[in-house]
Structure 1
Amino acid sequence: MKQSALFLATIFLTISIFAQDPIKVLNRHRDSIPTEQLYMHFDKQAYVAGETAWFKAYVRTAGTDGLVSTNFFAELLNEKGEVLQSKKLPVIVDGSINGQFDIPTTAPQGIYMVRAWTNYTRFFDPTYLFKKAVPVFNPSTTAASADAGAGYIFEWFPEGGRLLNGVSNVLAYRCTDKKMQPALVSGNLLSSKGEDLGSFSTNKYGLGYFSFPPVKGEKYFAELLFPDRTKQKIELPAGIDNGIALNVADHEEGKVFTLLSSPSDPAAPKEVLLLAVMNNLIVLKANVELKENEAQGLVSTANLSEGILRLYAFDKSNNLLAQRACYVTLESSHVPVEFKALQKSSGPKTLNEWSFVLPANTKGNFSIAVTDADKEILSVNEENIFTSLLTQPGKKQFGNMQVKDEEVRDLIMLTSSWVNDDWAFFAKTKAPRLVDELHLPFKGKIFQEGNNKLLTGGQLDILVRTKDSTDHTYTVPVMDDGSFKLYELAFQDTARIYYRWAGSKEERPTNSEIEFDRDNSDYSALLKNFSVQQWVASKKNLLNTPSASIAAQLIADLKTTEGLASRITQKEKEEPQKKNPVGGTKDVNNRYATGAFSGMSSARVLDLVTEPPSNIQGNIFDYIVGKMSGFTIEKAAGNYAIYSSRSTSTREALSGNSRGLVPGKVYLDEQETSMDMISRITLDQIALVKYFAPGSITLPGIGLSCVLCVYTRKPEDLNNSKKKYTNSLIFPGYVSGKIFTAPDYSIDDKKRKDTRSTIYWNPDVKANSETGEIRIKFYSNDTGKRFHVVFEGVTTDGRLVSFDKVIE
């Protein structure tokens, strides 16, 4: 609730110096149970049968810089809860995933659900999953409607959790119909004697509140009048005699809290431990003294980020007395976007060029969708990246936080619920056993072929050849029980994997066979206590849009546009595979290094093709010592690190690095990776090593780091390899994705009919590292006059971008 004027008495918040159980619980969640947040940006808000739903998914871990998961799972379900499509996709370094769902042409009209999770989120309640309603229109066929039944649901929400007798309490309420749509209801507050204590009603969101002081021993009732003119008399929550009432109000500097105890309670707490928590981090820890049964204070939000702030009040015995969730809105968390149409044209098949300017030096992970605004069945999104990422994890019931009215937003917080509202449940939650393997797990046990005898010890030499003929080699140890594990594979479709077992004493390679570990993951619990049918019924109103009449035309348009929007330009002629020419290091460099990595004058180069190692024992880091200069490679606790004495920073010195050296970056085949990954590759599989001193190469996110790039041999350079792989198999990879493409009318046929509804989709947008500018170009369709652009993303420092505008 807002307070236009509030006098804050000066109180002293004494920081507790004693260990408190609630603090231990919260710190354990902070350190061991991070909150993973998921969001999916779709190119449109509604589709017709036969269309492709393009998406960009964002995964981030609240309150930390790292990622917990490397795999992302997404499913498309119909109204019956049946899974129509399922995808497993890799989470890349910046926490992003691209993909699409192909909606069948025979899909009945209805509300479909996209459900997404990671191996980490599935350890928690099903409310931690990402869920999105996807209306699909198909006038030729409709699915049987889920009947949610008649009637209304009216619920009370005392602020702080309970009503306290003898003091003024805020009591919020929410009313919906059985389809979970807001209901306009009015009512009267009555005493047990039938006295009329006042009237109340819901706003257009089905929400409302009033304040009143319950009296000990008294019961209260509400007589409700629903939209269908039916009436119902319901009882208010019973008041308690002992405890604390907690009220939170907005203030220009943050959130004002008021703690009240009952004057008639001789055992009323004189001091309360107040904790304010955001993203599992305690942002305020204070012992608050109640004088004359009241205390007030301010939680400053100046240094917080946007999101949910939770306040907890505990007594000296660590019993939870009251709790309140509120939303912090901060403009500093919003990245400003300056839009400019450099070239705008609404004529048929004409070129448009737009500019989006972010603050200088802004780096991050962004996606942009441009649609024909006059072909949109739904133009307003129920959620955006802010309202989803910042409020979704663990929510059981939640309203639309895109409303602008701050008082309504606070009412939504008052009448919403999360799994962690149950403090007893929250306190006993244990850190999950992390099972998220790094991308595609290649693991199992190895046996001698034909007799099922375990091959123990030694190593497994592996070569992975993907569909594009790219080769990667690995060496993994075989344990005493015959087991092996390789976690870092990532490729689409399938790959041919060649392998051989070599004993610990270099026995002759033996024909072998692999028994893979079974995936015993049980995802059935994901829908436990969650009714898809009820959830779908709550979204049925999305089908009642005035623009639904254009669905038939969109379906007809698909036939005329078929092949245009999905056209993928390929090279007219594939280059023949090159043989290994004799040309020395320069030629090897030209065949392997590309782009920013291709320079030789700015790099130190070690060519292992022209001059192969005489001894292939050890790894590449052992080999280059003494052969390349300008850097040092250190190994501590089994982990490698590379440094350049030319690159130091105060930040590194303060973090514990006594020399202040900035760690270098390592790349494998021009993709950033870990030194541990490279250390597993045998010398005879490496073609080229290039070292770039700090400042001699320009790459995103490099900063003051030196760069070491290692290249694995191409097939034509593998003829020197002394290894002979004894076995091979086909191994499944990630689902192959499609590429969104659009016509280029500077070269394409302008006579062809163009009725696309999605004009532009780019899930991998990068801003200019210096100016912060993003430029996009696209050609309009035949009829578009207005364009709807949605630009969303996450910056490297955790801020969010959300730009939604119709350009006319």
Structure 2
Amino acid sequence: MNCIRFYRSLIALALLFSGIGAGYAQQIDSMVNLYGERYPQEKIYVHFDKPAYNTGETIWFKSYLFAGIVPSPISKNFYAELVDQQGKVLQQKILPIYEGSSAGSFDLPANLPPTIIFRAYTTWMLNFDTSFLFSKTIRILNKTVAVAPAATTPQSGAKQTGAKQPATASQGGASSNPSSAVTLRFFPEGGDLVTGLESVVAVKVTDEFGLPVSAEGAIKEAAGATVATFGTVHDGMGRFTIEPQAGKTYYAEWTDEKKQTHKTPLPVAKQTGVVIQCAPTGSRQAFIIRRSQDAPEDLKTLYLLGYFNSQVVYKARLNLQQNFMVSGSIPLEGIPTGMLQMTLFDANWKPIAERINFVNKEDYFFTTRVVPIAKSTERRAKNSLVIDVPDTLKSNLSIAITDAGLSKADPDADNIVSHLLLSGDLRGYIHNPYYYLTGNDDTVRSHLDLVMLTNGWRRFKWDELEAGKLPVIKFPRENYLSLSATLTGVLPNQVPKNTQINVFLQAKDSSRQLFFLSIDSSGKFQQDGLVFFDTVSVFYQFNNNKYLANKSVVNFTNGTHKSPTLIKPDSAWRVPMPIDTSLLSRGKYFASEADRLRPELEKKIKTLETVTVKAKTKTKIQQMDERYTSGLFSGGDATTFDLTDDVAALGAMNIFTYLQGRVAGLQIQAGGGQTSLQWRGATPSLFLNEMPVDVTAIENIPVTDIAYVKAFRPPFFGAVGGGAGGAIAIYTKKGGDVSSNTSNIGGLDKSRLSGYAVPKEFYSPDYSKEVTNADLPDIRTTLYWQPYILTDKSNHKITLTFYNNDVSKRIRIILEGMNEEGQLTRVEKIIE
């Protein structure tokens, strides 16, 4: 699914424009392409460790961010929120995006409602239709589940209902049986029924939760004569054909799966108009367009536009002056898997019908093998897996290993394939969306086409495009965090040009960064592209300007979006379906065990704290790490070197010659007066006492002045850009304790600034070694979580080890991810 392959092979025109309308065509055509080039649409998928949680647990998540059909290079900040059903924001996390992905966690408090919403977005997405922000209902298992009245529930995901869409499907009324919450809705193909023209009409039958219901019935005239019959064929959806007659109205008389009878009126047919009918035929997308015999002049010349990923791939001028029908087909060569939209315009370029189609080239998958090499469901047994990606492309994966009873398949849930290719581009709820991508036979294609007919999709406001109006960008692209300073207390003309402010950022552990900020044209001082976590102290001083130092107040911000504490509830926040009884029982078991063990655990921790202080001594490396490192530099996946006791370091020309051959995967080449470093195909970031530096700043430092070195394996999030090449942190020797420097920087004003959410490390016990509290029952529901598994051509096999808890007899493994060209992978396995 290579985007370069797509963009270099846009479809040739099947029918050439000529005569009237060509000028408007150029306007619409160029505006659509401009929209796609300047305003690419991002979409998010989030991989959770499991679909439901108890209070007191941690939600672990990994996000994947796409723009079109490839990992998004646009946004650098990821926003995640927990929201209640009334729109109150309970928690928010801001995280850095690394190679189109990010990872984080939420700790759940004890006082939570039975359902909460996980909401995720980038600020770039806020510039467009917010219906496409990511949201998922999270179940809290150890609470009484409250179900809202059916009247408040969007039956098909109200991203679709209530929207003003001139060329989308019309809908019939609800059931006339007041005792039933089952609803039947009609979707004429292209948007409208037209008198005298045969049309395909899709039906969708749902219950109060928006879930599919089987039904069958008949379409009748007002007088009672049957003109068509229908039945649902897959997940509450079906279709029938009807040719409305002048002066007649129609209704459906139907029976649901519980044998209850209903009556629902059909949409009223327009007296004149145009209908479109589509059908895939192998390598082409065929269409038939019909108009009324007495259609006005503006319906006798039509224009058809086809576009994929906001790029025009087909355009045609259709002459219906003499004929009432025209047919054609769109060649699909060069179009990858995804949504193809067709919009039909009248002679004045007003949209009159719209149809979406799904092109399935089955080119979106890359192979990943998950092979258990040691497996057991015995108490605290060891399990080992090999993850093999036999590909030369870089891949970015995440894996969740959980108790299978608490991670049962959730019909509300997408996976990475179905969301990024299908449901993330559609309005409305799609039941079990992955089914439509498990095959490409005639049956699955027919069922998928019903989804296309019954779910709205709209990216463009055609009247605005025709007028040459483009989106207003209220939220510019973010480049990680900013150090932004605004002056108050002085007028803008009192701030001389080239004014500079000196700023120190100091973390809680005393690590510092120094910046020299100059005033910009807007009167602000700003440095973007920064990555720091938690809160930092900001010390600042004006450079040779006592007037500003005495008169002005400096306000610092980190440049991120400030979400309101209360947001408007989204109609896509569905009332969840009744919970599976076995899942509920399993969740309550784990919750009750956690409550039972909590007092004993707290008591044990207090006892262990006393014992640990007296009995345990720290290793020299642990002492060095505590003495020299801080924040993200503390701990982590790194190779460490204590040079204070290393005789070999004394003979090294510089620190790079010392490190050669000592760090697996790190390549160091010296020659021609230059030193170059590479790790997994990227250049490692370099830090001297946790401040970013370049090679020349380090290679001239005498090795005898260096106390401690840490080589962090890729990725390293403390580096600008996500640290794809890892990082090397070098610490020079110091005599006094670090804490002596943490109080202040003399003579400078001080402020505070928030950074990214502090990363939390997933705890996975190793029962082959000594484990704290090993005598207490192990009732972990998530046995293993690893949000970043990175592979490439030289490192395509990864071995993981985890241990079972005390109670799980069935273990579920779910691995998902993407590669650098946007292909996707998903593997699910059960150990039992």
Q: Which moved more, 1:470-479 or 1:373-382?
A: 373-382
- Residues 506-556 of structure 1 show CA distances to partners (whole Å, capped at 9, x for unaligned) of 999989751236989675699547347xx342x133x24433112221113
**1: distance between equivalents of 2:122 and 2:684?**
27
The 1:72/1:757 distance shift into structure 2, 3 A limit, reads same
Q: Specify the alignment match of 1:617 in structure 2.
A: none
- Residues 617-662 of structure 1 show CA distances to partners (whole Å, capped at 9, x for unaligned) of xxxxxxxxxxx6999xxxxxxxxxxxxxxxxxxxxxxxxxxxxxxx
Q: Specify the alignment match of 1:306 in structure 2.
A: 337
Matched, 1:85 2:91: yes
Q: CA deviation at 1:238?
A: 2.7
Structure 2: runs of 5+ lacking an equivalent: 1-11, 152-179, 437-443, 609-615, 630-641, 702-712, 716-723, 737-744
Q: CA deviation at 1:386?
A: 1.9
Q: CA deviation at 1:762?
A: 0.5
- For the residue of structure 2 that corresponds to 1:396, the secondary structure is coil
Q: Specify the alignment match of 1:753 in structure 2.
A: 777
**2: distance between equivalents of 1:508 and 1:585?**
49
- For the residue of structure 1 that corresponds to 2:131, the secondary structure is helix
2:127 and 2:472 in contact (8 A); partners too: no
Matched, 1:549 2:585: yes
Q: Specify the alignment match of 1:403 in structure 2.
A: 435
Q: CA deviation at 1:137?
A: 0.8
Q: Specify the alignment match of 1:762 in structure 2.
A: 786
Q: CA deviation at 1:296?
A: 3.2
Q: CA deviation at 1:503?
A: 4.2
The 1:239/1:708 distance shift into structure 2, 3 A limit, reads closer
Percent sequence identity over aligned pairs: 25
- For the residue of structure 2 that corresponds to 1:754, the secondary structure is coil
Q: CA deviation at 1:190?
A: 1.5
- TM-score, normalization by structure 1: 0.76
2:301 and 2:318 in contact (8 A); partners too: yes
The 1:629/1:591 distance shift into structure 2, 3 A limit, reads closer
Matched, 1:383 2:414: yes
- The one-letter code matched in structure 2 to 1:734 is Y
Q: Specify the alignment match of 1:635 in structure 2.
A: none
Matched, 1:24 2:30: yes
Matches within 5 A, 1:182-581: 182-203=212-233, 205-226=235-256, 231-263=261-293, 265=295, 267=297, 269=299, 272-288=302-318, 292-376=323-407, 382-393=413-424, 395-400=426-431, 401-404=433-436, 405-420=444-459, 423-424=462-463, 430-446=471-487, 457-467=498-508, 469-479=510-520, 483-503=524-544, 513-516=553-556, 523=563, 527-528=567-568, 530-531=570-571, 535-537=573-575, 539-541=576-578, 543-558=579-594, 560=597, 573-575=622-624, 576-577=627-628
Q: CA deviation at 1:373?
A: 1.5
Q: CA deviation at 1:35?
A: 0.5
- For the residue of structure 2 that corresponds to 1:418, the secondary structure is coil
**2: distance between equivalents of 1:709 and 1:474?**
23
Q: CA deviation at 1:332?
A: 1.3
The 1:12/1:283 distance shift into structure 2, 3 A limit, reads closer
2:80 and 2:119 in contact (8 A); partners too: yes
The 1:301/1:774 distance shift into structure 2, 3 A limit, reads farther
Q: CA deviation at 1:769?
A: 2.5
The 1:244/1:536 distance shift into structure 2, 3 A limit, reads closer
Q: CA deviation at 1:208?
A: 1.6
**1: distance between equivalents of 2:212 and 2:505?**
56
2:88 and 2:565 in contact (8 A); partners too: no
Q: Which moved more, 1:788-797 or 1:777-786?
A: 777-786
The 1:442/1:599 distance shift into structure 2, 3 A limit, reads same
Q: Specify the alignment match of 2:14 in structure 1.
A: 13
Matched, 1:50 2:56: yes
Structure 1: runs of 5+ lacking an equivalent: 1-10, 606-627, 632-663, 672-676, 691-697, 701-706
Q: Specify the alignment match of 1:173 in structure 2.
A: 203
Q: Which moved more, 1:219-228 or 1:793-802?
A: 219-228
The 1:336/1:437 distance shift into structure 2, 3 A limit, reads closer
- Residues 355-376 of structure 1 show CA distances to partners (whole Å, capped at 9, x for unaligned) of 2332321312211111121444
Q: CA deviation at 1:27?
A: 1.4
Q: Specify the alignment match of 2:124 in structure 1.
A: 120
Q: Which moved more, 1:587-596 or 1:241-250?
A: 587-596
- Residues 191-245 of structure 1 show CA distances to partners (whole Å, capped at 9, x for unaligned) of 2433211322334622221012223443322234456766554432233354432
- Residues 381-438 of structure 1 show CA distances to partners (whole Å, capped at 9, x for unaligned) of 6211122223455643132222343322221221112343764477655142433432
The 1:269/1:100 distance shift into structure 2, 3 A limit, reads same
Task: Provide the aligned length of Structure 1 versus Structure 2.
Answer: 709
- For the residue of structure 2 that corresponds to 1:574, the secondary structure is helix
Q: Which moved more, 1:555-564 or 1:351-360?
A: 555-564
The 1:714/1:747 distance shift into structure 2, 3 A limit, reads closer
Q: CA deviation at 1:742?
A: 0.5
RMSD of aligned residue pairs (Cα, Å): 4.5
**1: distance between equivalents of 2:293 and 2:32?**
32
- For the residue of structure 2 that corresponds to 1:342, the secondary structure is strand
- For the residue of structure 2 that corresponds to 1:781, the secondary structure is coil
Q: Which moved more, 1:769-778 or 1:126-135?
A: 769-778
- For the residue of structure 2 that corresponds to 1:498, the secondary structure is strand
Q: Specify the alignment match of 2:137 in structure 1.
A: 133
1:37 and 1:392 in contact (8 A); partners too: no
The 1:507/1:711 distance shift into structure 2, 3 A limit, reads farther
The 1:736/1:31 distance shift into structure 2, 3 A limit, reads same
**2: distance between equivalents of 1:458 and 1:421?**
45
Q: CA deviation at 1:123?
A: 2.5
Q: Specify the alignment match of 2:103 in structure 1.
A: 98
